[in-house]
Amino acid sequence: MPVKILLVDDDSDLVEGLRWYLEAAGYAVNVAGDGNTALARFRADHPDVVILDIMMPELDGVQVCEAIRRESNAFILMLSARDGEIDRVRALEKGADDYVTKPFYASELVARIKALLRRTGRGQQAAPNLRWQGLAVFLDERRVTVNDAEVPLSTTEFDLLAALMNRPRVVFSRHQLVDIIWRDEAFYGELRLVDNHVYRLREKLLQAGLPSCPIATVRGVGYAFRPED
């Protein structure tokens, strides 16, 4: 089955050009021109990847991103004509996995999609589960539960948690976490974006009912999973 992509942008010329390029690359593409239509098509089609423009009529892209992330772990790649840090951080805080600034080459977009899909671990042997108190990480299914209730994490948040739990008490610098999580793909953000993802991960685990979060900040270095703290 081909990977399903939902492409959302109110620029019809851009959408048609990208749709042609993505379909030529072997993807199954559905499109939407506004936020409400995007949510309806997402819920009907359950795409693997959502390419989402920020500036749209009705619901903007960040609102759509937040709504999708509450329901799904699908990859979300944001598009924007603005290159401001505030927009980028806002999108990532709401659950986006990547962010591309217009104008861009279609080949770059395809490369980013391929890099995101490599992070699913498709075709790899199922990994053992990681557990700590009420927290359980199912690596093969890419699911996280707290007290048996599922916690919706973004792809980056899941990868961060798995990386830290796989090596408890080891202190990872931000550079090391970027290397582990983004692996072969290019990292276009600033290192402080790692802090943003860690903050969101902690908040979600605590809101889900974990009494304390074992992800510790090591001042001046980075982060560690410290189950004894």
- Whether residues 145 and 72 fall in one domain: no
d(C-alpha 42, C-alpha 172), whole Å: 36
Could you list the residue range(s) of the whole structural domain that residue 64 is in? 4-118
* CATH number of the domain within which 34 lies: 3.40.50.2300
Q: Does some domain include residue 125?
A: no
- Whether residues 93 and 134 fall in one domain: no
**Whole-structure pTM value:** 0.56
Q: What is the pLDDT of residue 125?
A: 40
Q: What is the pLDDT of residue 187?
A: 52
Q: Does some domain include residue 123?
A: no
Ranges of residues in the chain whose predicted pLDDT is under 50: 122-128, 184
